[in-house]
Structure 1
Amino acid sequence: MNTLRFRLAVLVGIAVTLATGLGVTLIGFGKAGEYAGGALYACLIGLLILLILPRMKPLLLLASTAGVCWAVEFFQLTPWPAEWAEQSFLARLVFGSTFHAPDLLPYILGAGLVAAVHAWTRRGPLPEAAP
Protein backbone atom coordinates (compact mmCIF):
# COMPACT_ATOMS: atom_id res chain seq x y z
CA MET A 1 0.00 0.00 0.00
CA ASN A 2 1.49 3.33 -0.96
CA THR A 3 1.80 6.16 1.54
CA LEU A 4 -1.06 8.22 0.09
CA ARG A 5 -3.52 5.31 0.15
CA PHE A 6 -2.36 4.43 3.64
CA ARG A 7 -2.96 7.99 4.85
CA LEU A 8 -6.39 8.06 3.21
CA ALA A 9 -7.26 4.81 5.01
CA VAL A 10 -6.05 6.34 8.28
CA LEU A 11 -8.21 9.44 7.63
CA VAL A 12 -11.24 7.20 7.15
CA GLY A 13 -10.33 5.44 10.41
CA ILE A 14 -10.07 8.81 12.14
CA ALA A 15 -13.52 9.86 10.85
CA VAL A 16 -15.13 6.59 11.95
CA THR A 17 -13.40 6.72 15.35
CA LEU A 18 -14.42 10.36 15.90
CA ALA A 19 -18.04 9.67 14.97
CA THR A 20 -18.19 6.60 17.20
CA GLY A 21 -16.45 8.34 20.09
CA LEU A 22 -18.68 11.41 19.89
CA GLY A 23 -21.72 9.17 19.72
CA VAL A 24 -20.66 7.24 22.80
CA THR A 25 -19.85 10.50 24.61
CA LEU A 26 -23.02 12.37 23.67
CA ILE A 27 -25.48 9.48 24.04
CA GLY A 28 -23.85 8.07 27.16
CA PHE A 29 -23.77 4.40 28.00
CA GLY A 30 -22.87 4.53 31.69
CA LYS A 31 -19.58 3.05 32.84
CA ALA A 32 -19.25 0.90 29.74
CA GLY A 33 -19.55 4.03 27.62
CA GLU A 34 -16.90 5.81 29.69
CA TYR A 35 -14.42 3.00 29.15
CA ALA A 36 -15.33 2.60 25.48
CA GLY A 37 -14.80 6.35 25.11
CA GLY A 38 -11.34 6.03 26.66
CA ALA A 39 -10.40 3.19 24.32
CA LEU A 40 -11.70 5.15 21.32
CA TYR A 41 -9.74 8.22 22.47
CA ALA A 42 -6.60 6.10 22.44
CA CYS A 43 -7.47 4.73 18.99
CA LEU A 44 -7.86 8.29 17.73
CA ILE A 45 -4.49 9.32 19.18
CA GLY A 46 -2.87 6.25 17.60
CA LEU A 47 -4.42 7.02 14.22
CA LEU A 48 -3.25 10.63 14.42
CA ILE A 49 0.26 9.38 15.16
CA LEU A 50 0.06 7.04 12.14
CA LEU A 51 -1.14 9.90 9.97
CA ILE A 52 2.04 11.80 10.81
CA LEU A 53 4.39 8.81 11.00
CA PRO A 54 2.98 6.08 8.73
CA ARG A 55 6.08 3.89 8.92
CA MET A 56 5.99 3.60 12.71
CA LYS A 57 6.38 0.05 13.97
CA PRO A 58 3.35 -1.37 15.80
CA LEU A 59 5.05 -1.83 19.18
CA LEU A 60 6.36 1.74 19.12
CA LEU A 61 2.88 2.89 18.08
CA LEU A 62 1.38 1.11 21.08
CA ALA A 63 3.90 2.66 23.47
CA SER A 64 3.65 6.18 22.07
CA THR A 65 -0.15 6.10 21.92
CA ALA A 66 -0.43 4.90 25.51
CA GLY A 67 2.21 7.41 26.57
CA VAL A 68 0.34 10.36 25.05
CA CYS A 69 -2.96 9.21 26.58
CA TRP A 70 -1.41 8.68 30.00
CA ALA A 71 0.33 12.07 29.80
CA VAL A 72 -3.02 13.75 29.09
CA GLU A 73 -4.63 11.86 31.97
CA PHE A 74 -1.89 12.80 34.42
CA PHE A 75 -2.04 16.40 33.12
CA GLN A 76 -5.54 16.41 34.62
CA LEU A 77 -3.89 16.49 38.05
CA THR A 78 -3.10 20.14 37.31
CA PRO A 79 -5.82 22.83 37.43
CA TRP A 80 -5.63 23.77 33.72
CA PRO A 81 -7.72 21.03 32.06
CA ALA A 82 -10.64 21.64 34.42
CA GLU A 83 -10.49 25.37 33.73
CA TRP A 84 -10.32 24.78 29.98
CA ALA A 85 -13.18 22.23 30.15
CA GLU A 86 -15.43 24.86 31.75
CA GLN A 87 -14.75 27.22 28.85
CA SER A 88 -14.81 24.85 25.89
CA PHE A 89 -16.56 21.60 25.00
CA LEU A 90 -13.73 20.81 22.60
CA ALA A 91 -11.12 21.29 25.36
CA ARG A 92 -13.14 18.96 27.59
CA LEU A 93 -13.13 16.30 24.85
CA VAL A 94 -9.40 16.64 24.21
CA PHE A 95 -8.04 17.12 27.74
CA GLY A 96 -10.82 15.92 30.04
CA SER A 97 -11.22 17.65 33.35
CA THR A 98 -10.32 15.42 36.28
CA PHE A 99 -7.85 12.60 36.81
CA HIS A 100 -9.51 9.18 36.94
CA ALA A 101 -7.06 6.29 37.40
CA PRO A 102 -9.44 3.64 35.94
CA ASP A 103 -9.17 5.48 32.59
CA LEU A 104 -5.58 4.29 32.25
CA LEU A 105 -6.57 0.71 31.35
CA PRO A 106 -8.88 1.59 28.41
CA TYR A 107 -6.06 3.70 26.99
CA ILE A 108 -3.84 0.62 26.92
CA LEU A 109 -6.62 -1.42 25.31
CA GLY A 110 -7.27 1.22 22.64
CA ALA A 111 -3.57 1.64 21.96
CA GLY A 112 -3.24 -2.13 21.69
CA LEU A 113 -6.17 -2.32 19.28
CA VAL A 114 -4.82 0.32 16.90
CA ALA A 115 -1.32 -1.23 17.08
CA ALA A 116 -2.73 -4.71 16.41
CA VAL A 117 -4.73 -3.53 13.40
CA HIS A 118 -1.67 -1.67 12.14
CA ALA A 119 0.49 -4.80 12.53
CA TRP A 120 -2.17 -6.96 10.85
CA THR A 121 -2.60 -4.67 7.85
CA ARG A 122 1.08 -3.87 7.45
CA ARG A 123 2.78 -5.83 4.72
CA GLY A 124 6.42 -4.91 5.10
CA PRO A 125 7.70 -1.36 5.20
CA LEU A 126 5.79 1.29 3.28
CA PRO A 127 7.50 2.41 0.11
CA GLU A 128 9.42 5.64 0.18
CA ALA A 129 7.43 8.68 -0.89
CA ALA A 130 8.06 9.86 -4.42
CA PRO A 131 10.29 12.93 -4.70
Structure 2
Amino acid sequence: MIAGLSVHALAPDGFVSDAAGDALYAALIFALGVCVAPRAPSWGVAAVALAWCTAVELFQLTGLPEAWGAAFRPLTLVFGTVFAAEDLVMYALGIAAASGIDVLVRRRPSPA
Protein backbone atom coordinates (compact mmCIF):
# COMPACT_ATOMS: atom_id res chain seq x y z
CA MET A 1 0.00 0.00 0.00
CA ILE A 2 2.82 2.39 0.88
CA ALA A 3 4.55 1.64 -2.43
CA GLY A 4 1.37 2.34 -4.40
CA LEU A 5 0.68 5.61 -2.58
CA SER A 6 4.33 6.63 -3.02
CA VAL A 7 4.14 6.05 -6.78
CA HIS A 8 0.87 8.00 -6.87
CA ALA A 9 2.28 10.93 -4.90
CA LEU A 10 5.92 11.11 -5.98
CA ALA A 11 6.36 9.68 -9.49
CA PRO A 12 5.88 12.00 -12.45
CA ASP A 13 2.69 11.41 -14.41
CA GLY A 14 3.20 9.11 -17.35
CA PHE A 15 3.11 5.53 -18.53
CA VAL A 16 5.60 4.18 -15.98
CA SER A 17 3.83 5.65 -12.96
CA ASP A 18 0.42 4.60 -14.30
CA ALA A 19 1.60 1.06 -14.98
CA ALA A 20 3.32 0.73 -11.60
CA GLY A 21 0.29 2.15 -9.83
CA ASP A 22 -2.06 -0.28 -11.57
CA ALA A 23 0.15 -3.30 -10.84
CA LEU A 24 0.58 -2.29 -7.21
CA TYR A 25 -3.17 -1.66 -6.81
CA ALA A 26 -3.86 -5.17 -8.12
CA ALA A 27 -1.18 -6.66 -5.85
CA LEU A 28 -2.84 -4.89 -2.90
CA ILE A 29 -6.22 -6.36 -3.82
CA PHE A 30 -4.58 -9.81 -3.98
CA ALA A 31 -2.91 -9.26 -0.58
CA LEU A 32 -6.22 -8.20 0.95
CA GLY A 33 -7.77 -11.36 -0.45
CA VAL A 34 -5.05 -13.48 1.18
CA CYS A 35 -5.72 -11.69 4.48
CA VAL A 36 -9.46 -12.33 4.22
CA ALA A 37 -9.09 -15.97 3.11
CA PRO A 38 -5.61 -17.16 4.18
CA ARG A 39 -6.36 -20.83 3.50
CA ALA A 40 -7.73 -20.25 0.01
CA PRO A 41 -5.52 -21.42 -2.84
CA SER A 42 -3.41 -18.70 -4.40
CA TRP A 43 -5.04 -19.22 -7.82
CA GLY A 44 -8.49 -18.70 -6.24
CA VAL A 45 -7.47 -15.45 -4.56
CA ALA A 46 -5.84 -14.35 -7.82
CA ALA A 47 -9.05 -15.06 -9.76
CA VAL A 48 -11.15 -13.03 -7.31
CA ALA A 49 -8.62 -10.18 -7.32
CA LEU A 50 -8.58 -10.08 -11.12
CA ALA A 51 -12.39 -10.13 -11.21
CA TRP A 52 -12.50 -7.22 -8.73
CA CYS A 53 -9.96 -5.16 -10.69
CA THR A 54 -11.72 -5.87 -13.98
CA ALA A 55 -15.09 -4.91 -12.49
CA VAL A 56 -13.68 -1.65 -11.14
CA GLU A 57 -12.12 -0.84 -14.52
CA LEU A 58 -15.34 -1.61 -16.39
CA PHE A 59 -17.30 0.44 -13.83
CA GLN A 60 -15.28 3.44 -14.99
CA LEU A 61 -17.16 3.23 -18.30
CA THR A 62 -20.27 4.50 -16.46
CA GLY A 63 -18.60 7.81 -15.60
CA LEU A 64 -19.62 7.49 -11.94
CA PRO A 65 -16.10 7.00 -10.55
CA GLU A 66 -14.94 10.17 -12.27
CA ALA A 67 -17.88 12.14 -10.84
CA TRP A 68 -17.38 10.67 -7.37
CA GLY A 69 -13.65 11.45 -7.54
CA ALA A 70 -14.43 15.05 -8.43
CA ALA A 71 -16.60 15.29 -5.32
CA PHE A 72 -14.25 13.37 -2.99
CA ARG A 73 -10.71 12.97 -4.33
CA PRO A 74 -9.64 9.91 -2.25
CA LEU A 75 -12.24 7.81 -4.08
CA THR A 76 -10.07 7.99 -7.20
CA LEU A 77 -7.54 5.78 -5.38
CA VAL A 78 -10.17 3.03 -5.11
CA PHE A 79 -12.25 3.46 -8.27
CA GLY A 80 -9.96 5.35 -10.65
CA THR A 81 -11.48 7.81 -13.09
CA VAL A 82 -11.58 6.76 -16.75
CA PHE A 83 -11.41 3.39 -18.49
CA ALA A 84 -8.11 2.32 -20.04
CA ALA A 85 -7.80 -1.16 -21.53
CA GLU A 86 -4.06 -1.29 -20.82
CA ASP A 87 -4.87 -1.13 -17.10
CA LEU A 88 -6.36 -4.64 -17.37
CA VAL A 89 -2.98 -5.95 -18.51
CA MET A 90 -1.16 -4.27 -15.63
CA TYR A 91 -3.69 -5.67 -13.15
CA ALA A 92 -3.05 -9.17 -14.47
CA LEU A 93 0.74 -8.67 -14.22
CA GLY A 94 0.51 -7.29 -10.68
CA ILE A 95 -1.68 -10.16 -9.55
CA ALA A 96 0.55 -12.72 -11.25
CA ALA A 97 3.60 -11.32 -9.46
CA ALA A 98 1.85 -11.22 -6.08
CA SER A 99 0.46 -14.72 -6.59
CA GLY A 100 3.90 -16.04 -7.54
CA ILE A 101 5.40 -14.58 -4.38
CA ASP A 102 2.53 -16.03 -2.36
CA VAL A 103 3.13 -19.51 -3.79
CA LEU A 104 6.85 -19.28 -3.02
CA VAL A 105 6.22 -18.13 0.54
CA ARG A 106 3.65 -20.85 1.19
CA ARG A 107 6.02 -23.57 -0.09
CA ARG A 108 8.90 -22.41 2.06
CA PRO A 109 9.48 -24.87 4.92
CA SER A 110 8.48 -23.46 8.26
CA PRO A 111 11.16 -23.20 10.95
CA ALA A 112 10.98 -26.03 13.48
Matched, 1:92 2:76: yes
CA distance in 1, matches of 2:57, 2:21: 13
Q: Runs of 4 or more off by more than 3 Å in structure 1?
A: none
Q: CA deviation at 1:60?
A: 1.2
RMSD: 1.3
Percentage identity across paired residues of the two chains? 36
TM-score of the pair, normalised by structure 2: 0.90
Task: Select 1:57's aligned residue among 17, 35, 41.
Answer: 41
Q: Does residue 1:23 correspond to 2:6, yes or no?
A: yes
TM-score normalized by structure 1? 0.77
Q: Does 1:109 align with 2:87?
A: no
- Structure 1's unaligned 5+ residue stretches are 1-17, 125-131
- Please report how far the alpha carbon of residue 123 of structure 1 lies from its aligned counterpart in structure 2 after TM superposition: 3.6
Q: Displacement of 1:52 after TM fit? A: 0.6
| Residue in 2 that maps onto 1:32 | 16
Task: Measure how far apart 1:95 and its partner are.
Answer: 0.1
* Superposed CA offset, 1:21-55 (max 9, x none): 11111122421110010000001000111111001
Counterpart CA distance in 1 for 2:23 and 2:89 is 8
Amino acid at match of 1:107: Y
2:20, 2:77 → 1: CA distance?
A: 14
Residue 50 of structure 2 corresponds to 66
- Which AA in structure 2 matches 1:40? L
Any unmatched runs of 5+ in structure 2? none
Matched, 1:122 2:101: no
